[in-house]
């Protein structure tokens, strides 16, 4: 009996479902772009759900937020200026405030109602928006990249998944994030990267959609000289893990080897829970079936 539980189900992951026990519903509304839901769970803290898909739980969000942020930043010798696309919960901009090299952060999130909801209901994430280095825009990230004249050392795309509309594998993709999962978007990012620039994008899940991952990686290889796929373990994301696509403009960049390391005391002082140099290196070690797909 799953009454009193939230269940994540989607044609994108047929034949499986994931449930969390609800303690208290905090918000449910339809924005211009998507359905927004926040609840407090019994064991995983607060949870944000967009169009039925879990975006974070407070219990394990560090495994995603720290990795999508520190993998690209620590592969770059001097990541001063950073663009975040998406990330409306505030988690990535919160992480960026911890990094000593970052001087300026620009963010473009499509849905201001996600930002407001997280600021109001989840201060542990929404606190990110009080980062004094942040300039916040609302709008489609792909469009922002076409229009801005600025260049960035790092571009992080913390996007939700494109939503599959019908029950078939070939189902049409839709939802606000569709503009962020294609080769044109990667070319737009390349045009806005400064010399030596690096990007890192939410890269879907190798168990659920290896084909999509491989298609994106192959597309990136046409645009960038260095492309890698990494992943992290986030128990409350579908299938328990999530990937990242990292690309570098400089052929000499080794994304797999951090250019700076923090000892345990420094990491604790910085408030890090998940990321460290060995986790950075390990994130790029891919299982055999993925290597066979990707190479």
The residues annotated as belonging to the active site are: 158
Pick between residue 65 and residue 249 the one whose CB is nearest to ligand AAT.
Answer: 65
Q: Give the Cα separation of 68 and 15 in Å (integer).
A: 28
Pick between residue 67 and residue 226 the one whose CB is nearest to ligand AAT.
Answer: 67
> With binding defined as CB under 6 A, does residue 73 bind ligand AAT?
no
- Contact range with ligand AAT by CB under 6 A, out of 37-45, 103-111, 219-227, 263-271: 103-111
Please answer whether residues 243 and 290 qualify as being in contact, where contact means their C-beta atoms are separated by less than 8 angstroms.
no
Calculate ∠ Cα 111-125-59, nearest 5°.
120
* Least Å from the CB of residue 34 to ligand AAT: 6
Please answer whether residues 185 and 179 qualify as being in contact, where contact means their C-beta atoms are separated by less than 8 angstroms.
yes
Q: Give the Cα separation of 272 and 9 in Å (integer).
A: 31
* Least Å from the CB of residue 56 to ligand AAT: 5
Query: By CB under 6 A, what part of segment 50-69 binds ligand AAT?
Result: 50, 53, 55-56, 64-65
Burial class (CB in 10 A: 0-12, 13-18, 19+), 251: exposed
> With binding defined as CB under 6 A, does residue 86 bind ligand AAT?
yes
Query: By CB under 6 A, what part of segment 197-226 binds ligand AAT?
Result: 202
Pick between residue 197 and residue 203 the one whose CB is nearest to ligand AAT.
Answer: 203
Query: By CB under 6 A, what part of segment 120-179 binds ligand AAT?
Result: 140-141, 158-161, 176-177, 179
**Would you state the structure tokens that stand for residue 142, as one six-digit string?**
């792909």
Identified binder of ligand AAT from the candidate list 106, 154, 180, 245, rule CB under 6 A? 180
| Binding residues with ligand AAT: total (CB under 6 A) | 31
* Least Å from the CB of residue 88 to ligand AAT: 3
Query: By CB under 6 A, what part of segment 222-261 binds ligand AAT?
Result: 237-238, 242
Burial class (CB in 10 A: 0-12, 13-18, 19+), 287: exposed
Neighbours of 229 (CB within 10 A): 23
Pick between residue 144 and residue 226 the one whose CB is nearest to ligand AAT.
Answer: 144
> With binding defined as CB under 6 A, does residue 85 bind ligand AAT?
yes
What SS3 string covers 208-228? Answer: CCHHHHHHHHHHHHHHCCEEE
Residue 132 CB contacts under 8 Å (≥ 6 apart), including other chains: none
Pick between residue 102 and residue 226 the one whose CB is nearest to ligand AAT.
Answer: 102
Task: Map tokens 């996007």 to a residue.
Answer: 159
Q: How far is CA 203 from CA 1, 113, 288, in A?
A: 34, 24, 18
Beta-sheet pairing, 104-109 with 81-86: parallel
* Least Å from the CB of residue 6 to ligand AAT: 15
Identified binder of ligand AAT from the candidate list 49, 73, 83, 110, rule CB under 6 A? 110
Residues that bind ligand AAT (CB under 6 A): 50, 53, 55-56, 64-65, 85-89, 91, 108-111, 114, 140-141, 158-161, 176-177, 179-180, 202, 237-238, 242
């Amino acid at each position: 009996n799953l009454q009193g539980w939230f269940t994540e189900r989607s044609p994108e992951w047929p034949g499986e479902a994931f449930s969390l026990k609800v303690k208290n519903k905090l918000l449910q509304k339809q924005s211009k772009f998507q359905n927004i839901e926040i609840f407090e769970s019994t064991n995983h803290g607060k949870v944000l759900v967009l169009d039925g898909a879990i975006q974070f739980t407070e219990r394990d969000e560090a495994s995603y937020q720290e990795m999508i942020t520190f993998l690209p930043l620590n592969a770059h010798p001097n990541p001063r200026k950073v663009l975040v696309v998406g990330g409306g919960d505030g988690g990535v901009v919160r992480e960026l405030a911890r990094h000593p090299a970052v001087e300026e952060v620009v963010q473009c999130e499509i849905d201001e109602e996600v930002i407001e909801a997280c600021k109001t209901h989840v201060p542990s994430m929404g606190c990110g928006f009080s980062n004094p280095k942040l300039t916040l825009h609302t709008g489609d990230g792909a469009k922002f990249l076409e229009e801005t004249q600025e260049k960035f050392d790092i571009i992080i795309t913390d996007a939700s998944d494109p939503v599959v509309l019908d029950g078939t594998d070939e189902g049409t993709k839709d939802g606000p994030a569709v503009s962020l999962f294609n080769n044109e978007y990667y070319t737009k990012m390349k045009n806005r990267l400064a010399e030596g620039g690096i990007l890192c994008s939410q890269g879907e899940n190798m168990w659920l959609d290896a084909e999509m991952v491989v298609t994106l990686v192959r597309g990136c290889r046409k645009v960038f000289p260095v492309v890698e796929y990494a992943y992290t373990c986030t128990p409350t994301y579908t299938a328990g893990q999530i990937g990242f696509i990292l690309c570098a403009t400089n052929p000499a960049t080794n994304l797999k080897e951090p250019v700076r390391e923090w000892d345990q005391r420094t990491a604790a002082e910085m408030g890090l829970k998940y990321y460290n140099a060995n986790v950075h290196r390990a994130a790029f070690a891919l299982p055999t079936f993925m290597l066979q797909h990707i190479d």
